Amino acid sequence: MTKNLALEERLLQQYDKSYEGNGILGERIAHRLSELSKIGLTADNGSNRPGFSLAEKQAKELIKTWMLKAGLSVSEDGAGNVFGRLTGKEDHLPAIMSGSHVDSVPNGGHFDGPLGVLAALEVVEAWKTNSYQPRKPFEVAIFTDEEGSRFNNGLNGSEALIGKANVEEKIELQDEEGRSFAEVLQDVGLSVQGYAEAGRQLDEIELFVEVHIEQGKRLEKEELPCGIVTGIAGPCWLEFTFDGEAGHAGNTPMNDRKDALVAASEFVMKVNQLPRQINDSAVATIGKLQVEPNGVNVIPGKVTLYVDIRDIYKETRDELVDRVLSLSSEIADTYHIQVKHEEKVRVHPVPIGEDIQQLLEQALLEHGISAYKLPSGAGHDAMILGEKIPVAMIFTQSKDGISHNPAEWSSLSDCVQTVQVLKTFVESLQHDRK
């Protein structure tokens, strides 16, 4: 038994077939997840399909064959985004789109991204079995380079789709091997010009819905297969530099020090307390810190650290940013040192519309699933599309909250229940929404 077969067999091992029906087949989902796992398989049984790599392209080509067999017309834009389109009874109407990505982080898991693509495709397979044609056209999407592991700059495919990509910045990018953005695109038959022209008329899309693994533990703790995403947090990254005064650790009295690390330490502790004063969905993280001169017997003279601030609501996210900035100034004054900051990233959060959440809630309840709601702290392609069009997200339970790791796992029973919810939700969208 090979490692690749082990994924399919593991998925089927404790699968409850009672969740099947309506044309949805767990065995097909398990087989396809397993076939994709063979592409870019690592020694640790993980996934290695960087964006704009031949492995990512190979995964797309495999899914294209499944799309064609399911009766979809297949196209690819200049960014490498793939679309499988099912004609609607009223094909002139804007399409419902669903999908995700198939690229991965180095040595990642087999569910992050592929599950969303295969879930959308399984809805089409179910409709084919039942001879059902939706009123509105339906598109299964595979977005290029969501993870950004190649250039530390992800969501490239979805940015190209909505015309947001800054091509001038991207052509300056280089990967770890020193290869340019243009060279990497050429490897997979793409070009910078094609990438720049990949934008689409967004009035052709009514709504984008993405199925994704949770990458957290909330659904597992609630013992639920899937849940409703209330919004996608927009990150703001701030770089702070605390400037004190380096000195001899033995000859400088405690009352005559300007210790940058002591000040930074108080800042770290208090930043951790701020989000809960805002709301339940706000978070702040300090995960990177540099100390100078970084000597055992030297008072730290300079500390540089980075604060990652996120919330699904722009107003409260920005309020938290303001509080963090005020806190840095207060602490600098207390310790008689200097502090400066530089904003590195500020992305708009994407709240999910209440009407969309209500339709998702109805879909879950129809399948006997409690309608649990939770925010997404991570970025997704839906976050980018959500800047321009309505979006929805459904999270599938992640075992132990593990992701970006070969141990990443979602049970087949949970995956199939998620697809059932997706199918019901998309069918509910065939009626005109107020």
- Of the chain, the percentage scoring pLDDT greater than 70 comes to 98
pLDDT value at position 5? Answer: 57
| Rounded-to-integer distance, Cα 183 and Cα 170, Å | 12
pLDDT value at position 271? Answer: 98
| Rounded-to-integer distance, Cα 368 and Cα 383, Å | 28
| Rounded-to-integer distance, Cα 56 and Cα 36, Å | 10
| Rounded-to-integer distance, Cα 397 and Cα 158, Å | 24
Mean pLDDT, range 75-96, rounded to an integer: 98
Residue 192 has pLDDT above 90, yes or no: yes
Q: Domains in the chain and their CATH numbers?
A: 3-233+349-428 (3.40.630.10), 234-346 (3.30.70.360)
Residue 292 has pLDDT above 70, yes or no: yes
Burial class from Cβ neighbours inside 10 Å (0-12, 13-18, 19+) for residue 270 reads middle
Residue 328 has pLDDT above 60, yes or no: yes
Largest pairwise CA distance in the chain? 84
* Annotated binding residues for Zn(2+): 101, 112, 147, 212, 404
Mean pLDDT, range 308-321, rounded to an integer: 95
pLDDT value at position 1? Answer: 35
| Rounded-to-integer distance, Cα 352 and Cα 355, Å | 9
Question: How are the residues of the chain apportioned to helix, strand and coil, as percentages rounded to the nearest 5?
Answer: 40, 25, 40
- What's the pTM value of the predicted model, to 2 decimals? 0.88
pLDDT value at position 3? Answer: 45
Mean pLDDT, range 195-205, rounded to an integer: 96
| Rounded-to-integer distance, Cα 349 and Cα 102, Å | 24
Residue 32 has pLDDT above 70, yes or no: yes
Instruction: Report residue 2's pLDDT band, with 50, 70 and 90 as the boundaries.
Output: very low
Mean pLDDT, range 258-287, rounded to an integer: 96
3-state SS class at 398: coil
**Token pair listed for 125:** 């397979």
| Rounded-to-integer distance, Cα 140 and Cα 129, Å | 17
Q: What amino acid occupies position 303?
A: V
pLDDT value at position 150? Answer: 86
pLDDT value at position 434? Answer: 59
Mean pLDDT, range 182-198, rounded to an integer: 96
| Rounded-to-integer distance, Cα 163 and Cα 257, Å | 52
| Rounded-to-integer distance, Cα 13 and Cα 130, Å | 27
Q: What amino acid occupies position 75?
A: S
| Rounded-to-integer distance, Cα 291 and Cα 311, Å | 29
pLDDT value at position 379? Answer: 84
Each residue's pLDDT tens digit, 146-173: 998 888 788 999 999 999 988 998 999 9
Q: At what angle do helices 354-366 and 412-428 cross, to 10 degrees?
A: 120
Each residue's pLDDT tens digit, 51-84: 999 999 999 999 999 999 999 999 999 999 999 9
* Annotated binding residues: 101, 112, 147, 212, 404
- Of the chain, the percentage scoring pLDDT greater than 90 comes to 92
Q: Whats the size of the chain, residue-wise?
A: 434
Each residue's pLDDT tens digit, 343-391: 988 888 999 999 999 999 999 999 999 999 999 988 899 999 999 999 9
**Token pair listed for 428:** 């509910």
Contact 228, 364 (CB under 8 A): yes
What is the average pLDDT value for the chain, to the nearest integer? 95
DSSP label at residue 202: G
Q: What amino acid occupies position 5?
A: L
| Rounded-to-integer distance, Cα 229 and Cα 116, Å | 14
Instruction: Report residue 6's pLDDT band, with 50, 70 and 90 as the boundaries.
Output: confident
